[in-house]
Structure 1
Amino acid sequence: MVIVSNTRWLWFATLLFLIISSNFLVYRLDALPPLSTEVALGTLFDFVVIIPILTYFFIIRKRHLLRKIWHVVVAGFTGAWFIMPNDFLYPGKSVGIVLFVYTTIILMIKIMSVSKSFRRNVTDIPTFQQRLEYALSTQFTIKRVIDVITSELAMIYYCFFSWRKKPLANLGSVQVFTFHKKTSAIALYIMLIHALILESVGFHFVLLSWSPTLATIVLVLNLYTLLFFIAELQAIRLCPFIMMDQHLHLQVGLMRQLTVPFDKVSNIKYYQGPEKLSKSIQKESFDGVVADLMKEKPTFEINFEMPVEAKMMYGMKRKVRKAYVRPDNPKQFYDALTEKIHKSDEYMKREND
């Protein structure tokens, strides 16, 4: 991790302000004589060369992070493009073309690396969303962008490209447990899809006579919701609960997922609480019970040694202390998880001894 002192930040911000303000004013002060093409080239040099050099020496200062300068070069060129008036933009067109081509090449290389990493981790990371998130994180560093891209690509995948896929099955030490077969979850989403199609068609023609723009916006939103319902249905069908060697992975459709090591699982017990969870309990728990026509009571309550992070769609996260689940085969799930917890406890004791 690179730590930048306040003094270096102050010097960098001062120099950056002087470069940007001087270039901005030189094009807008009427007192100056007519400017030549060389002035525009000087502005490009300041933004594409000088500012990245200052960024490297004042902020980055690490050889292995030199590749990050490219992001500063692109940002500098974009800034120069906005500062220079239209009459002075043509000297930068050739530079812009070079930057665009180079950016495209770098992006294609990253995409190929992501694809390679995604295919390589099929056995280690069984679910599509987790593999995609891991593959993207090896090439891109902005976590929020990765979360959004993962959510959107997962929705596209489950909606259009997962129909020939079979649900995950037991493989070696990996155990899977379905949670939707004894519910009406699939029927619920099919009903919602049919209702949305009928509502979209009828409502669109009503709005069309009143406001074509609003009708188009509502139609696009309904189509997005339709794709989400289809993807959610497929994700529920194809992604059961998974027990791996060291982790328990709970995923309910596209919306909720939780991965917790077995050494952080305190216990599993049959749920004896009220039919409906209170709001205070909901805030600190992971709801692993699938949506249904009439949502059923959880079968098990899984408690954790400490708060663990549950992930929602688009990267939203929440710390939870327990999870509530309702697997289709409760006894098998209970026995398997209990065995995993005991093995983890024994391993920790041996490590401590």
Structure 2
Amino acid sequence: MVLTRLRSKQSLFAALLLLVLVSNYFAYRLPAIPMPDDSRAVVIGSLLDLAIVAPLLILAMTRKKGFTLKRFITFMVIGLVVARFIIPSEYFEPFKFIPYAAIGLEGLIVLAEIGLLFLLVKHLPSILRELKQESNSGLFAFPTHVKERVSSHPLISIVAAETLMFYYAFASWKRKPPTGEAFFSLHQKTSLLAFNIMLIHAIVIETIGIHWWLHEKSMILSIVLLVLNVYSVIYFIADIQTVRLNPLTMKENRMQVSLGLGKRMEIPFDAINKIDWFEEAAQCNLKSKGLVEFIARDLEEAKPNCVLHFKEPLKATLFMGMEKTYEMAAIRLDEPERFREVLEKKLGS
């Protein structure tokens, strides 16, 4: 029912967007619609439609991605460029500077983002020094330091996520997985690491076999495929290291749980409303809306050992540093009984 309503709303917004574009196009081309002697008011109306109304409709259609000023400005610039093609040149002549001004504004935004990258490079050595002095996991601490010292801009979050990937792929091999009463692995009794190693082998074989054949057909396509395959291999190597070196960790007032580079979450103990254990947890629908799962892939379908229900939605960090809120977390551990004992002690205290 909910999905049907969402799709119907998206269809409505799409129909309104199409109506805006078509009506503005034919307003200048249908003989039945006479153009007044002073056409500036009509052109201004079209510019408002394409620079404000159309972007708002696009944002409404894609509201799951969130409303940000940058997205609105980007769609506004696109709308003004489209206006240059919809409005005939004889009517658009007094306003021909507007698309260039809009592109200049977008250029300033791009320059500001480049400035943030330089700021990240400037602060990176001091952030790394602070991380060496801390006992916290770099998987959680590094993005937090970047947000505090640089910015929480999506571009910076993506760069921070990629930096973590290259660190775990190339610079983490001397580290050993932490051990102790506060650490709980999620992968040792599964085939997750073996599955990732198998994927790496498959990608390498595909690269060797297909690259040379495709190189004769299309050099550009073969290079693009080679770059994507190399990136995939680096990602899977980093993901293996991330899983090994970052078990679920019990802190003083929260737990840190992650499953590779693509999923991590900090759960304060006072944010937990209730917990479903074992048989009750196994009945949970893992496709439920608002549920994030930390269950390592296995040859057979795996069920969670526990499902944590939160008092209010909590943020989880996903692939490329993207964030999303969840109301529940399903977790499968190698030592569920010990985890239950430690967690109940934490909640009791």
What do the CA deviations read for 1:73-124 (whole angstroms, capped 9, x no partner)?
x969x79xxxxxxxxxxxxxxxxxxxxxx9999776523332333233x22x
287-296 or 243-252, larger mean C-alpha shift: 287-296
Q: 1:113 to 1:300 in 2, by over 3 A?
A: same
Tell me the amino acid that sits aligned with residue 148 of structure 1. Answer: I
Tell me the amino acid that sits aligned with residue 310 of structure 2. Answer: F
State the partner residue of 2:325: 319
Question: Contact conserved, 1:179 with 1:327, CA < 8 A, in 2?
Answer: yes
State the partner residue of 1:307: 313
- Return the alpha-carbon distance in structure 2 between the equivalents of residues 293 and 191 of structure 1: 13
RMSD of aligned residue pairs (Cα, Å): 3.0
SS at match of 1:189: helix
- How far the C-alpha of 1:134 sits from its partner, in A, is 2.3
Tell me the amino acid that sits aligned with residue 168 of structure 2. Answer: Y
Aligned runs of 1:263-302 on 2, under 5 Å?
A: 263-272=270-279, 278=285, 280-281=287-288, 283-302=289-308
2:129 is equivalent to residue 116 of structure 1: yes
State the partner residue of 1:334: 340
Question: Contact conserved, 1:114 with 1:138, CA < 8 A, in 2?
Answer: no
Tell me the amino acid that sits aligned with residue 320 of structure 1. Answer: Y
Tell me the amino acid that sits aligned with residue 196 of structure 2. Answer: Y
SS at match of 2:326: strand
- How far the C-alpha of 1:322 sits from its partner, in A, is 1.2
- How far the C-alpha of 1:191 sits from its partner, in A, is 0.8
- Return the alpha-carbon distance in structure 1 between the equivalents of residues 178 and 243 of structure 2: 11
Tell me the amino acid that sits aligned with residue 248 of structure 2. Answer: F
Q: 1:302 to 1:274 in 2, by over 3 A?
A: closer
Q: 1:269 to 1:130 in 2, by over 3 A?
A: same
- Return the alpha-carbon distance in structure 2 between the equivalents of residues 237 and 301 of structure 1: 23
State the partner residue of 1:245: 252
293-302 or 239-248, larger mean C-alpha shift: 293-302
Normalized against structure 1, the TM-score is what? 0.62
- How far the C-alpha of 1:142 sits from its partner, in A, is 4.1
Tell me the amino acid that sits aligned with residue 167 of structure 1. Answer: P
State the partner residue of 2:146: 136
What do the CA deviations read for 1:182-223 (whole angstroms, capped 9, x no partner)?
111111111111111101110111211211110110010011
2:215 is equivalent to residue 208 of structure 1: yes
Among 212, 227, 231, the alignment partner of 2:238 is 231
- Return the alpha-carbon distance in structure 2 between the equivalents of residues 104 and 327 of structure 1: 38
Tell me the amino acid that sits aligned with residue 316 of structure 2. Answer: A
Q: 1:336 to 1:198 in 2, by over 3 A?
A: same
- Return the alpha-carbon distance in structure 2 between the equivalents of residues 150 and 105 of structure 1: 13
Q: 1:108 to 1:130 in 2, by over 3 A?
A: same
Question: Contact conserved, 1:271 with 1:300, CA < 8 A, in 2?
Answer: yes
- Return the alpha-carbon distance in structure 1 between the equivalents of residues 161 and 347 of structure 2: 31
Q: 1:310 to 1:201 in 2, by over 3 A?
A: same
Question: Contact conserved, 2:131 with 2:141, CA < 8 A, in 1?
Answer: yes
SS at match of 2:293: strand
268-277 or 306-315, larger mean C-alpha shift: 268-277
Q: 1:109 to 1:195 in 2, by over 3 A?
A: closer
- Return the alpha-carbon distance in structure 2 between the equivalents of residues 226 and 293 of structure 1: 21
SS at match of 2:196: helix
- Return the alpha-carbon distance in structure 1 between the equivalents of residues 283 and 234 of structure 2: 30
Tell me the amino acid that sits aligned with residue 237 of structure 2. Answer: I
Larger radius of gyration: 1
Question: Contact conserved, 1:115 with 1:135, CA < 8 A, in 2?
Answer: no
- Return the alpha-carbon distance in structure 2 between the equivalents of residues 103 and 305 of structure 1: 36
2:179 is equivalent to residue 169 of structure 1: yes
Tell me the amino acid that sits aligned with residue 129 of structure 2. Answer: K
Tell me the amino acid that sits aligned with residue 227 of structure 2. Answer: V
Among 178, 181, 186, the alignment partner of 2:185 is 178
110-119 or 259-268, larger mean C-alpha shift: 110-119
- Return the alpha-carbon distance in structure 1 between the equivalents of residues 251 and 116 of structure 2: 39
Tell me the amino acid that sits aligned with residue 323 of structure 1. Answer: A
Q: Which consecutive residues of structure 2, in runs of 5 or more, have no partner in the other structure?
A: 1-106
